[in-house]
Structure 1
């Protein structure tokens, strides 16, 4: 998997089959889109490519806008790779990108930089300054510049449209099973464990801290999770059951930094710097403020007991196979 942040002209001499979007969560609809891209690329000797913008345009234009993210860029890229995508272009969304007309976007980005031969987008796709370009214009420009524009009908699950917006709403409501059903894969957060304030260890709950990039998370609160990545070398990989807290720690800190704090009962070791994957099974309760640490600790014991019971009745679902 290649990750390219600033493609230059003639970088892709072989030509690309690509799709463009944010792909938050990489849900089952996205996966179907990626399968089409990969199939077309292999049939025509092209490179299957995903193009995404960072930061999200709405966050760029408004410092107060907070996108309730489903997944991090790292986890989106992991899912893209599982689907057969070979390279991801993370285009910086800045004033120059925002000012490109639809025609200039096609010429400078799709043709000059990416050498696009096949382009796949949803029929509601918008592009260019002030979102002036639509699917019909992209198709017309494709005809003029000899690249093929394809659309994909919406994907439904149990009679309902699969979309990042619907998944986001399910997670905000704490409905992890419904969200993961639409995703088509477990909800996972991955990253390197960092040092925190170490308050948890003084309360009997030493946690591993993972910073979640972005201004807001669709899922917050107390979670039953599986921890992948702490297996002993040479032993069979066995995820560890744990309870986690996702949010901004309202009882002990006033911060906008989203933190995923994970406690593994009866585990001892040094996880600092390790790359872990936290697989979410269930939402236990919302994040809340407590009037004292004693009240919070009492609730943490209850949360841990409930999480362990849920995990004992289920199995982890992470798979390294294709999407």
Structure 2
């Protein structure tokens, strides 16, 4: 699988496929690809181009599917929302122009039980041919999270790779993390989340057929299934939509289960202003720009229609279209 952004392509590799070139590599979940992750990628890009007299390294990000917390979270516990799907992760990496390959390992209890030294020897060295390794200052890995930067540096000296740590990025005096981004989104603090991400929070998804209920109510919507992704946002938002045509379209979107019509499966539905084309099957990006209200159950469809009209008016006003 490849994802192209302009002239740049990011290749997706899976499993234990051995690399063909030596690598500058960074490891992590990279959920959301926030400013802290971007600092790792910037260092990775710099180290991959050591100079005119030395060969360039392939720029590789090693990540995991499913995310480790999704394996270890008890079945009866509330799921932790993902900030980015695999496609969204690929899109941001491609846009950065700092990564050649996203290499995914299937995360399971067997991989989690691998001793740190074995992970370095068999995954980083034998499979991925690491020569330059970039990690955060608090990076931990291996069985029981026993591996740390000191162990990496010790093994790097023996096995022929260098270890580079990147200091945490801080915004407003606090460390940027996926947990902090998630908390901001769940609180409806889109501006704060955008500062931590370095860009507006967005959903990338393919438009699917729905039940056409929005069209019946006079507000046709793009139906955007979330698949296995547990979404961080719930409520009604003013949104920008990209991918339907050149440029940006504006609209209003609901993220939730649609309780008034008996919905149970979370989804995102976006009504695009002043647009009536065929969207089915198109890959779109929906950027969430302003929180308007929480999702709620209405007494009937007439009350729901009236509120949607108010939501649309508020979203238009936010974009200066009123």
What TM-score do the two structures reach when normalised by structure 1?
Answer: 0.89
Matches within 5 A, 1:189-204: 189-204=203-218
Unmatched 5+ stretches in structure 1:
232-236, 314-323
The Cα shift of 1:168 comes to 1.0
Q: Which of 173, 182, 198 is 1:184 aligned to?
A: 198
Unmatched 5+ stretches in structure 2:
1-9
The Cα shift of 1:254 comes to 4.3
- Show the counterpart of 1:76: 89
CA distance in 2: counterparts of 1:64 and 1:89, whole angstroms: 31
Query: Is the contact made by 2:207 and 2:283 (CA closer than 8 Å) also made in structure 1?
Result: yes
- Show the counterpart of 1:147: 161
Matches within 5 A, 1:91-130: 91-130=105-144
- Show the counterpart of 1:49: 60
> For 2:49, what is the secondary structure of its paired residue?
helix
Matches within 5 A, 1:1-323: 1-8=10-17, 11-43=18-50, 44-61=55-72, 62-65=74-77, 66-83=79-96, 84-231=98-245, 237-255=246-264, 257-312=265-320
Query: Is the contact made by 2:244 and 2:279 (CA closer than 8 Å) also made in structure 1?
Result: yes
Q: Structure 1 stretches (4+) deviating beyond 6 angstroms?
A: none
> For 1:63, what is the secondary structure of its paired residue?
coil
The Cα shift of 1:266 comes to 2.9
Deviation string 1:15-53 (CA, Å, 9 cap, x unpaired) is 111111111111112111101001101225101111111
Query: Is the contact made by 2:241 and 2:250 (CA closer than 8 Å) also made in structure 1?
Result: yes
> For 1:288, what is the secondary structure of its paired residue?
coil
Size of the alignment, in residue pairs? 305
Query: Is the contact made by 1:213 and 1:258 (CA closer than 8 Å) also made in structure 2?
Result: no
The Cα shift of 1:137 comes to 1.8
Task: Specify whether residues 220 and 7 from structure 1 end up closer, same or farther in structure 2 by C-alpha distance, changes over 3 A only.
Answer: same
CA distance in 1: counterparts of 2:75 and 2:224, whole angstroms: 24
> For 2:319, what is the secondary structure of its paired residue?
helix
> For 1:272, what is the secondary structure of its paired residue?
coil
